[in-house]
Amino acid sequence: MKLKSLKKKIFFNGSDNLLTAIILASGFSKRFNKNKLLTKINSKPLVEITLQEVCDSNFDEVVLIYREEEVKRIGLNYDVTIAYNEKAHLGMSEAVKLGVSLASDKTDGYMFFVGDQPFLSHDVINELIDAFYVDKSTILIPVCNGDKCNPVCFPVKYREELLSIFGDKGGRQVISKVKDGKRFYEIENKLFCIDIDTYDDYIKVKKLLET
């Protein structure tokens, strides 16, 4: 049985809005030496933690970009759009472009998730959604302890720029060219922004969960 995502409509200043979540789950995890998104935290694959929290958030649509069949299999348990990234070897940008191309033409923007944040929380995600709608013309970047992190939210006006990126830098190529059209949002939950890049990171997360 599919676990239905909560298709709750977002209302800001009385208007009905639409926002797209894009989960980038087609990387090669080169620093981890295997697909880190299938690594289990509390008996659950990292990518499934992301799927659950995103689907429990106030998004109108969710797109999952995958490369490995096991990630697809997990995604099929959720009410999301699933797409295979046949150009994954060309870098993260291909996943970004694929996700954007599949989003509704009525969307106000795209919030990108990388799938390796074990402390992701739908409550904090909803904070970011609300913050985006304060000014949906600017790029919203979360910050923890002074460090920028994911998920970043791009207004739909940057669609063509996102579809023109290349390589492994993803949306950073667009952000670097924007001077005044971006905002930063301080995350109070400092665990939220922790991600797993290496096996040492994974061990540190396990220890945090044991305390």
pLDDT, one tens digit for every residue, the chain (211 residues):
233 333 333 333 335 789 999 999 999 988 888 889 999 999 999 999 999 999 999 999 999 999 999 999 999 999 999 999 999 999 999 999 999 999 999 999 999 999 999 999 999 999 999 999 999 999 999 999 889 999 999 999 999 999 999 988 889 899 999 988 999 999 999 899 999 999 999 999 988 987 6
The pLDDT score that the predictor gives to residue 5 is 32
Of 105, 116, 106, the C-alpha closest to 23 is 116
Distance CA 51, CA 26 (A): 14
pTM attached to this predicted model: 0.91
Asked if 192 and 208 count as a contact pair (C-beta separation under 8 A), the reply is: no
Q: Please, are residues 83 and 65 in contact by the beta-carbon 8 Å criterion?
A: yes
pLDDT of residue 15: 52
For residue 81, give the nearest of 96, 66, 67, 91 by alpha carbon: 66
| Domain ranges, ordered by start, for the chain | 10-210
The pLDDT, as a whole number, for residue 14 is 38
Name every residue whose Cβ is closer than 8 Å to that of residue 38 and which is 6 or more positions away in sequence: 45, 46, 47, 68, 70, 71
Q: Between the CA of residue 61 and those of 19, 41, 206, what are the distances in Å?
A: 7, 26, 31
pLDDT at 111: 98
Residue 101 phi, psi dihedral angles, 5° rounding: -65, -25
10-210: CATH topology: Spore Coat Polysaccharide Biosynthesis Protein SpsA; Chain A (3.90.550)
